[in-house]
Structure 1
Amino acid sequence: MSEPWLFPTVLLCMYGFFSNLRPSEPFLTAFLMGPDKNLSETQVVNEIYPLWTYSYLVLLFPVFLATDYLRYKPLLILQAASLIVTYTMLVKTQGVLAMQILEFFFGMATATDIAYYSYIYSVVEPAQYQKVTGFCRSITLLGSAIGSLLGQLLVSVAEVPLLYLCVITLACASIAFLTPWFLPMPAKSLFFHQKDGGNQDALTAEATTDPLKDRLECKVPLHSEEAVVHEEATRGLLAVLRVLWEDFLQSYSCKTLLAWSVWWALSTCGYFQVVNYVQALWEKILPSSEFHIYNGYVETISTLMGALAAFAVGYMKVSWEVWGELALCTFSVVIAGAVYLMDTIMNIWVCYVSYVIFRATYMLLITIATYQIAANLSMKRYALVFGVNTFIALLLQTLLTVIVVDTSGLGLDIIQQFLIYASYFAVIAVIFLLAGLYKWRRSRRASEHVVQTGEAHSIGDGMVNRI
């Protein structure tokens, strides 16, 4: 443990692994609609699951501020406690109301994810950011994949009842609960607690010396040194909110960042809807009470394929500033087609394969979007923009849920819902097709203007020579 960053990174990776090791996750809908809970499809899809979306949306911004003010560690403990409450209720309680309260606590656990991904930046040096980020993100995917595979093997091979999978998930959450207590308490945070300006200066230097960032269309400037010093001297809630608002306006004035952020928000909304309700679609096509289901294998494969796609981004030699909108349009068509096949073919194997394609494609694009956004920002604005994008995605998802899913709205069945989700991604593809055509036309006009200007200069030079 000679490296100062190693101890907190190992603890955080242990926490990420066990908190995402959830063997029950691929079989949640089957469990709720099975003999243990005996809930109907309408109750699960239209009355219980929407509560996660609503609670996540309501809690996201307060949790964002509380995470920074309390310096991350207490929020990690809160997240672990929320997971324990969630899975204890899943094992012990019955009825729609209990499951709705469960969804609220799970929404709290999801909202506090920001503490997990922000903590490490407050205790390690900027030179280690890329390394520890890779460790933390890969270990959560590994935990999710192993949990899904373990759940499927226990169901298919050992024929373990689904209730026992929930007990195992609760045990993993309890192990995860122990690890945050041993994490060192950060001395500083991004907004409320600033020990000194050194770390920010390092970030500024890093942002301005990276040659890759110089090739992008725009970079968002940081506050001046005098402004930072003044803000740190008067740092309070109102000052932090003012800084956040100014950073928000400056960040989204960058057209490159804005384009990728729009795709991020729109697509993440649709992704959440598909992932949240796909088990209900599988249950409709192949009821778990009548057939063997393979949800765990599918979740494992899709997670690993998504991780592989995300890994491949680092080796792609593509000018995303030129081809970004076209790529977003093309892959959004692929996503829309995969969701449409899931909904219309009504064959479980086609549905499984389409789901794997859907998740892998989304993971590929969201990794590219993450990279493109982060390349234009300091670490402070990185957290802000990602939080804003997620909030907008949740706001859109809430509207979609209220209109399409909730019984207070249309309350459509799962087949009709997925037809709407496929159409939603098709609309995203059209939006970025139009954006790409507009960008191409604008660049062509600029090229023609340069050519015409060059010809005019040539004619003028020739006239001068003749004179």
Structure 2
Amino acid sequence: MTAMDCFRTSASNSWIFPTVILCSFGFFSMMRPSEPFLIPYLSGPDKNLTSTEITNEILPVWTYSYLALLLPVFVLTDYVCYKPVIILQGISFIVTWLLLLFGQGVGAMQAVEFVFGMVSATEVAYYAYIYSVVSPEHYQRVSSYCRSVTLVAYTVASVLAQLLVSLANLSYFYLHVMSLISVSVAFTLSLFLPMPKKSMFFHAKPSKEVLPKPLGMDAALGEAQEDHETVQQKSHSISGNPERSQLGSQKTENVVLKNFVQWFQDLKECYSSKRLFYWSLWWAFSTAGFNQVLNYIQILWDHKAPSQDSSIYNGAVEAIATFGGALAAFAVGHVKVAWDLLGELALAIFSIISAGSLFLMHYTPSIWVSYTGYLIFKSSYMLLITVAVFQIAINLSVERYALVFGINTFTALVIQTIMTMIVVDPRGLNLAISIQFLVYGSYFAVIAGIFLMRSIYILYSLKCQKKVQRLPTIQSPAKSHAEEPVNTILSTKL
């Protein structure tokens, strides 16, 4: 074995190497300076698209494609062991920005939204990959690294974009060139990720297989034995034995069916917990509204302060909002709150804050007040989604958490799709952008009302229980006599 082979083996088996590569991929894939200025770019001289075309014909395609691709990609991601899907995400990033740079017309921009729907659907592989290549004791640390680096990258990209636009007067076209270079680097990095040998569901290994292999000669003999068995399996498959092939296909079908049955049973057991069910309910409904707001917020800003007539600060606002959300999420981990008792009340209060900020964005004519409302809205959502993720994951295994995460995300997309079809789509109400945010504010107000009633019910039930516990226990003579030990009763009678 050469020195290079030793290096590759040790690097691939170490949790540090895949973590560094994956975090680097996450950084460059999120380092997209053009994103805060997408709508000004599309409505400006580069693309000459109208606000109506962008709102009603282009942006809804992302929601529809994301929904259509999420479940197939979720299953495929686990079946092919993550890395191929991460590479597919890198390719989708490159195609998206090539179309943004060189495509023209509504059809080309609809293709952009469709391919970016693939980017969003394949994002699950980024967060699930690390659980297949590192040991459980590193899960928490590595997960925090992967999530933090994306927030840092988005913040840096937004600040950089704002500085280049405001100080250097750089064209939006060159911001997209920078984004294309960054996502191309991310794609290149994805090729260096070690290929996992197991996954959460389809290729899960028994516990005995997870144990570390012996060192030295025993390890070499073990690997040689595995290689020999692999060669034998390949030779049998090449020989074309029809009975073996038929048995293999039946075994594969049985494994797939067994996995789906197990998924259904796990989900049924998870959602039987009322606490987990209501946190998941808030997650799905709030994420649907949050994604809808993020998808159309730049349209609202362009409506209140057209980019052709005034200076815009979308990049600065996105940077502050992301940084504020990150601080809020970080603070949650250091504040001791009885979430079992006050969690749903917190959901109600912050949903009220979200609704108020959206109403503020609707009614104000000032772009600065609208910016402020967006900062409040995004920070409050990021704070609570962190709590929701923690509350759901705290008592679940990694496999069950992945299932609940997938179902919650899919439910959110279904709700968002229905909302898009009713509010935005030309075949629906086709509301003006300002009225849309009135609808979104009302939507969060309904969520707040549901959880406020739920929290009042919980607090009232706890109060009643305390009153019952404080009542004096007055025992009647007959009852107290009946509750005496048998020997005492007999001795009394005697």
Q: TM-score, normalised by structure 1?
A: 0.90
- Of 192, 197, 201, the residue aligned with 2:202 is 192
Query: In structure 2, what is the equivalent of residue 376 of structure 1?
Result: 395
Q: Deviations over 1:141-184 (max 9, x none)?
A: 01111111111111111111001111110110100000111111
- C-alpha distance in 1, partners of 2:437/2:209? 47
Matches within 5 A, 1:447-466: 447-452=466-471, 455-456=473-474, 461=480
The question of 1:49 aligning with 2:59 is answered yes
The question of 1:290 aligning with 2:300 is answered no
- C-alpha distance in 2, partners of 1:41/1:59? 27
Contact 1:17–1:143 under 8 Å retained in 2: yes
The question of 1:423 aligning with 2:433 is answered no
- Of 144, 152, 160, the residue aligned with 1:142 is 152
Query: In structure 1, what is the equivalent of residue 286 of structure 2?
Result: 267
- Of 163, 173, 182, the residue aligned with 1:163 is 173
Closer, same or farther: CA 33–191 of 1 in aligned 2, 3 Å: same
Q: Deviations over 1:399-451 (max 9, x none)?
A: 00000001111111100000000000000000001111221232233334444
Contact 1:32–1:38 under 8 Å retained in 2: yes
Query: In structure 2, what is the equivalent of residue 221 of structure 1?
Result: none
- C-alpha distance in 2, partners of 1:247/1:55? 28
Closer, same or farther: CA 462–341 of 1 in aligned 2, 3 Å: farther
Q: SS at the partner of 1:376?
A: coil
Query: In structure 2, what is the equivalent of residue 58 of structure 1?
Result: 68
Query: In structure 1, what is the equivalent of residue 423 of structure 2?
Result: 404
- C-alpha distance in 2, partners of 1:355/1:198? 51
Query: In structure 1, what is the equivalent of residue 40 of structure 2?
Result: 30
Query: In structure 2, what is the equivalent of residue 392 of structure 1?
Result: 411
Alignment-mate amino acid for residue 278 of structure 1: I
Q: Deviations over 1:322-378 (max 9, x none)?
A: 001111111111111111111111211111111111111000000000000001211
Q: Which moved more, 1:48-57 or 1:441-450?
A: 441-450
Gap regions ≥5 residues in structure 2? 1-9, 213-250, 485-491
Q: Deviations over 1:281-303 (max 9, x none)?
A: 00000000001100000000000
* 1:240 to partner: Cα distance: 1.4
* 1:198 to partner: Cα distance: 4.8
- C-alpha distance in 2, partners of 1:198/1:120? 20
Structure with the greater alpha carbon radius of gyration: 2
Gap regions ≥5 residues in structure 1? 203-231
Contact 1:329–1:430 under 8 Å retained in 2: yes
The question of 1:122 aligning with 2:141 is answered no
Closer, same or farther: CA 462–119 of 1 in aligned 2, 3 Å: same
The question of 1:356 aligning with 2:375 is answered yes
- Of 388, 409, 413, the residue aligned with 2:432 is 413
Query: In structure 1, what is the equivalent of residue 116 of structure 2?
Result: 106
Contact 1:187–1:195 under 8 Å retained in 2: no
Alignment-mate amino acid for residue 152 of structure 2: L
- C-alpha distance in 2, partners of 1:360/1:240? 38
State how many pairs are aligned.
437
- Of 341, 350, 353, the residue aligned with 1:322 is 341
Query: In structure 1, what is the equivalent of residue 297 of structure 2?
Result: 278
The question of 1:72 aligning with 2:78 is answered no
Q: SS at the partner of 1:236?
A: helix
- C-alpha distance in 2, partners of 1:15/1:31? 26
Alignment-mate amino acid for residue 52 of structure 2: T
Q: SS at the partner of 1:12?
A: helix
Query: In structure 2, what is the equivalent of residue 245 of structure 1?
Result: 264
* 1:237 to partner: Cα distance: 2.0
Percent identity over paired residues:
52
Alignment-mate amino acid for residue 398 of structure 1: T
- C-alpha distance in 2, partners of 1:68/1:382? 14
- C-alpha distance in 2, partners of 1:120/1:179? 15
- C-alpha distance in 1, partners of 2:462/2:328? 31
Alignment-mate amino acid for residue 415 of structure 1: S
